[in-house]
Chain A
Amino acid sequence: MKNAETTGGKTGGKTGGFSRRTFLKGLGTTAATAMAAQTVAVAEELEKANAERVFGPGAIPVTLSVNGQKLKLMLEPRVTLLDALRNYSSLTGAKEGCDRAACGACTVLFDGVPVYSCQKLALEGQGHTITTIEGLSQGGELTPLQKAFVEKDALQCGYCTPGFVMSATALLANNPSPTPGEIKHACAGNLCRCGTHPHIVAAVLQAAGIQNENKTEVVNYASLADE
Chain B
Amino acid sequence: MPAWPTNNKYISQSTIRVDAVAKVTGRARYSSDIQAEGWLYGMILRSQWPAADISSVDLEPARKIPGIKAAVTVKEGSFTVRYYGEEIAAVAGTTKQACLDALRAIVVKASPHDQFVVKEEDARQPDSAPVWQGSPNASKPRVRETGNVDSAFPECAAVIEGFYSTPIQIHNPMETHGSTVSWNDEGVTSWASTQGISSVRDGLAGALSLDQSQVRVITDFMGGGFGAKFGAGVEGVLAARLSREAKAPVRLMLTRFDQALAVGNRPSSFQKIRIGALADGTLHAFEMENYGTAGIGAGGDSGGGGGGANIPAPYLYKVPNARVNQWSVAVNAGSSRAFRAPGNPPASFGMESAMDDLALKLGMDPLELRLKNDSNKIRQHEYRLGAKKIGWKEKYRPPGSSSGVVKTGIGCAAAAWPAGGGTRSTQGEAQISPDGSIEFRIGVQDIGTGTKTVIAVVAAELLGLKPSQITVRVGDTNYPAGPGSGGSTTCASVSPTVYDICSNALSQLQTLSGIPDARGDNWFAACKKLGVSPLTVHGQWQPGLSADHAGGVQFAEVAVDTETGLVTVLKVVGVHDCGLIIDRLTLESQINGGIIMGMGYALYEERVMDDLSGVMLNPNFETYKVPGISDVPEIEVVLVNMPERGVIGIGEPSTVPTAGAIANAVANAIGVRVTSLPITPAKVLAALGKVPPAMKS
Please report the C-alpha to C-alpha distance between residue A201 and residue B448 in the assembled complex, in whole angstroms.
Answer: 19
Interface core residue of A132, A155, A160 (most chain B CB under 10 Å):
A155
For window 135-168 of A, CB contacts with B under 8 Å fall at 136-137, 142, 146, 149-151, 153, 155-162, 165
A81 interface residue per 8 A CB criterion: no
A123 interface residue per 8 A CB criterion: no
Contacting residue for B26 out of A132, A190, A227, CB 8 A: A132
Q: How far is the CB of A86 from chain B (nearest CB, A)?
A: 7
Please report the C-alpha to C-alpha distance between residue A90 and residue B595 in the assembled complex, in whole angstroms.
Answer: 36
B679 interface residue per 8 A CB criterion: no
A28 interface residue per 8 A CB criterion: no
**Structural contact, B632 and A76, CB atoms closer than 8 A:** no
**Chain A residues within an 8 Å CB radius of B581:** 218
Q: How many A-B residue pairs have CB under 8 A?
A: 218
**Structural contact, A224 and B23, CB atoms closer than 8 A:** no
**Structural contact, A153 and B25, CB atoms closer than 8 A:** no
A66 interface residue per 8 A CB criterion: no
A114 interface residue per 8 A CB criterion: no
Contacting residue for A155 out of B17, B27, B256, B635, CB 8 A: B17
**Structural contact, A92 and B25, CB atoms closer than 8 A:** no
What class of interface size applies to chain A in its complex with B? 35 or more
B584 interface residue per 8 A CB criterion: yes
Q: How far is the CB of B454 from chain A (nearest CB, A)?
A: 13
Interface membership of chain A positions 66-102, coded 1 if the CB is closer than 8 angstroms to chain B and 0 otherwise: 0000000000101100010011001111111111101
**Chain B residues within an 8 Å CB radius of A52:** none
Please report the C-alpha to C-alpha distance between residue A49 and residue B116 in the assembled complex, in whole angstroms.
Answer: 56
Query: Given that A78-B97, A219-B638 are known contacts, is A153 also in contact with B588, CB under 8 Å in the complex?
Result: yes
Which of A10-18, A30-38, A39-47, A191-199 makes up part of the contact surface? Answer: A191-199
**Structural contact, A155 and B23, CB atoms closer than 8 A:** yes
**Structural contact, B224 and A194, CB atoms closer than 8 A:** yes
**Chain A residues within an 8 Å CB radius of B256:** 97-100, 102-103
Q: How far is the CB of A201 from chain B (nearest CB, A)?
A: 7
For window 193-225 of A, CB contacts with B under 8 Å fall at 193-201, 215-222, 224-225
**Structural contact, A157 and B26, CB atoms closer than 8 A:** no
Contacting residue for A158 out of B221, B628, B635, CB 8 A: B221
Which of A1-9, A19-27, A171-179, A180-188 makes up part of the contact surface? Answer: A180-188
Contacting residue for A92 out of B35, B377, B378, B636, CB 8 A: B35
**Chain B residues within an 8 Å CB radius of A113:** none
| Nearest A-chain residue to B593, judged by Cβ | A195
Interface membership of chain B positions 625-647, coded 1 if the CB is closer than 8 angstroms to chain A and 0 otherwise: 01111101011111111101000
**Structural contact, B638 and A158, CB atoms closer than 8 A:** no
**Structural contact, B174 and A218, CB atoms closer than 8 A:** no
Please report the C-alpha to C-alpha distance between residue A157 and residue B24 in the assembled complex, in whole angstroms.
Answer: 11
Please report the C-alpha to C-alpha distance between residue A150 and residue B23 in the assembled complex, in whole angstroms.
Answer: 9
For window 598-640 of B, CB contacts with A under 8 Å fall at 620-622, 626-630, 632, 634-640
B95 interface residue per 8 A CB criterion: yes
**Structural contact, B592 and A159, CB atoms closer than 8 A:** no
For window 369-397 of B, CB contacts with A under 8 Å fall at 377-378, 381, 384-385
Please report the C-alpha to C-alpha distance between residue A64 and residue B616 in the assembled complex, in whole angstroms.
Answer: 39
**Structural contact, B589 and A194, CB atoms closer than 8 A:** yes
Query: Given that A151-B16, A221-B378 are known contacts, is A191 also in contact with B640, CB under 8 Å in the complex?
Result: no
Please report the C-alpha to C-alpha distance between residue A165 and residue B172 in the assembled complex, in whole angstroms.
Answer: 21
Interface membership of chain B positions 432-475, coded 1 if the CB is closer than 8 angstroms to chain A and 0 otherwise: 00000000000000011110000000000000000000000000
Q: How far is the CB of A56 from chain B (nearest CB, A)?
A: 10
**Structural contact, B595 and A153, CB atoms closer than 8 A:** no
B287 interface residue per 8 A CB criterion: no
Q: How far is the CB of A46 from chain B (nearest CB, A)?
A: 29
A105 interface residue per 8 A CB criterion: yes
Q: How far is the CB of A101 from chain B (nearest CB, A)?
A: 9
How many residues of chain B get a CB closer than 8 Å to chain A's CBs? 76
Please report the C-alpha to C-alpha distance between residue A43 and residue B597 in the assembled complex, in whole angstroms.
Answer: 59
Please report the C-alpha to C-alpha distance between residue A145 and residue B21 in the assembled complex, in whole angstroms.
Answer: 12
Q: How far is the CB of A84 from chain B (nearest CB, A)?
A: 11
Interface core residue of A98, A153, A155 (most chain B CB under 10 Å):
A153
| Nearest A-chain residue to B636, judged by Cβ | A215
A134 interface residue per 8 A CB criterion: yes
A130 interface residue per 8 A CB criterion: no
| Nearest A-chain residue to B578, judged by Cβ | A218
Please report the C-alpha to C-alpha distance between residue A137 and residue B24 in the assembled complex, in whole angstroms.
Answer: 10
**Chain B residues within an 8 Å CB radius of A91:** 26
Contacting residue for A188 out of B25, B29, B629, CB 8 A: B629
**Structural contact, A159 and B30, CB atoms closer than 8 A:** yes
B554 interface residue per 8 A CB criterion: no
Q: How far is the CB of B40 from chain A (nearest CB, A)?
A: 11
A133 interface residue per 8 A CB criterion: yes
B252 interface residue per 8 A CB criterion: no
**Chain B residues within an 8 Å CB radius of A102:** 256, 620-622
**Structural contact, B632 and A197, CB atoms closer than 8 A:** yes
Please report the C-alpha to C-alpha distance between residue A142 and residue B48 in the assembled complex, in whole angstroms.
Answer: 47
Supplied contacts A132-B26, A156-B224, A217-B637, 13 more A-B pairs, CB within 8 Å:
A98-B256, A134-B25, A153-B17, A155-B23, A156-B593, A157-B223, A158-B23, A193-B174, A194-B593, A196-B592, A199-B588, A219-B640, A227-B384
Q: Please report A residues at the B interface, Cβ cutoff 8 Å.
A: 76, 78-79, 83, 86-87, 90-100, 102-103, 105, 132-134, 136-137, 142, 146, 149-151, 153, 155-162, 165, 183-185, 187-188, 190-201, 215-222, 224-225, 227
Enumerate 9 A-B pairs (CB-CB under 8 Å) in ascending A order.
Answer: A90-B35, A92-B30, A97-B256, A100-B256, A103-B256, A191-B621, A195-B627, A217-B637, A221-B378
Q: Please report B residues at the A interface, Cβ cutoff 8 Å.
A: 12, 16-17, 19-21, 23-30, 32-33, 35, 41, 95-97, 172-176, 221-224, 226, 253, 255-256, 377-378, 381, 384-385, 447-450, 577, 581, 584-586, 588-590, 592-597, 620-622, 626-630, 632, 634-642, 644
Question: Which 7 residue pairs of A and B lie closest in terms of their CB atoms, listed nearest first?
Answer: A93-B26, A157-B448, A159-B223, A195-B593, A195-B596, A158-B23, A92-B33
